[in-house]
Amino acid sequence: MTHYSDYYFTSNLTSYTCPTFNNLQCQPPNACAREPATGKLYCCDYNDGLGNICWSITSECANNNSTRFCGTGDHTWCCLYETESCTEADNQLNICWNNELSPLGNISGQVLEDTYSSLRAEAPSATTWAFDPQSLIPATSTSTPSTTTAVTTSTLRPSSSSASLSGGAIAGIVVGVVAMVAIVLGGGVYLLKRHRRRQNPIPGSSPAELLAHRELPTGQLYEADGKAVNLPRPVQELPVSNQ
């Protein structure tokens, strides 16, 4: 249940001001409203970052404790003692805040903008457009879950992708390790065979066997000029001397 009554949007035909506000504008989606106890008009901000304040102009200062003094030095003004407080905004003068917050903070800015546009389209020549903020709160509540669901869904998708990437990365690592092992084994076999070929040029024969079976040339050999060459006879062919 809202504390205020008679909510309405202002028009450019009235310079977007609430009555009695002089030149202080209250542009939509902010709205003018009336405080029932005093009948004073306020501009209720839909999203001011300060708690959805309803503010108004100053009241005439009185000495019967019905008003409070605000400001310092040469810049002082009065606000209603029972229902208002001095503005808490920096560098703001001659403004009073009502102690009751506005329900416009419970309505999304988009809903308020759509309501204002719809009312203005129905009566473009009007100077004000009245509305009930309580009827707009359900519209805001209905639109909120869909937004939350969309955000939740989008946050779940990366988890699935991450799992798939992890599986692929693991498979790639396994394949790489197997390939590396195969390359190392192949290189080792190649080097071993190459070493054996250097040690055994003729398959099946060792260097010692090759030297043992080498025979000295037999028969008479001749030099280039035709002279016979006497080679020493093998030891096994020398005659055994008789002593």
Could you read off the pLDDT of 202-212 as tens digits, one per residue? Answer: 555 444 444 44
**77 located within any domain:** yes
Domain count, the chain: 1
Dihedral angle of Cα 140, 143, 145, 147, to the nearest 10 degrees: -120
**27 located within any domain:** yes
pTM of the complete model beyond 0.75: no
Rounded to 5°, angle at Cα 123 from 121 and 107 = 60
**24 located within any domain:** yes
Helices and strands, counts by H and E, the chain: 3, 11
**40 located within any domain:** yes
H/E stretch holding 80 reads: strand 75-80
**pLDDT at position 164:** 44
**9 three-class SS:** strand
63: domain range? Answer: 5-118
Nearest CA to 182 out of 172, 190, 171, 194 is that of 190
* CB count in 10 Å sphere of residue 83: 17
* Burial status of residue 131 (CB atoms within 10 A of its CB: 0-12, 13-18, 19 or more): middle
**220 located within any domain:** no
Name the token pair of 162: 């991450």
**234 located within any domain:** no
**175 located within any domain:** no
Name the token pair of 201: 């040029």
**123 located within any domain:** no
Residue-by-residue pLDDT tens, the chain, 243 positions: 578 999 999 999 999 999 989 889 999 999 999 999 899 999 999 876 666 899 999 999 999 999 999 998 889 999 999 999 999 988 899 999 999 998 898 888 899 999 999 999 999 999 999 999 989 988 776 554 444 333 333 444 444 444 444 555 566 676 677 677 777 777 776 777 766 666 555 555 444 444 444 444 555 555 555 555 555 555 544 455 554
What gap in Å lies between CA 120 and CA 186, rounded to an integer? 84
What gap in Å lies between CA 115 and CA 104, rounded to an integer? 13
* Beta pairing class for 31-34 and 41-44: antiparallel
Q: pLDDT for 136-186, tens place per residue?
A: 988 776 554 444 333 333 444 444 444 444 555 566 676 677 677 777 777
Written as one letter, the residue type at 110 is: Q
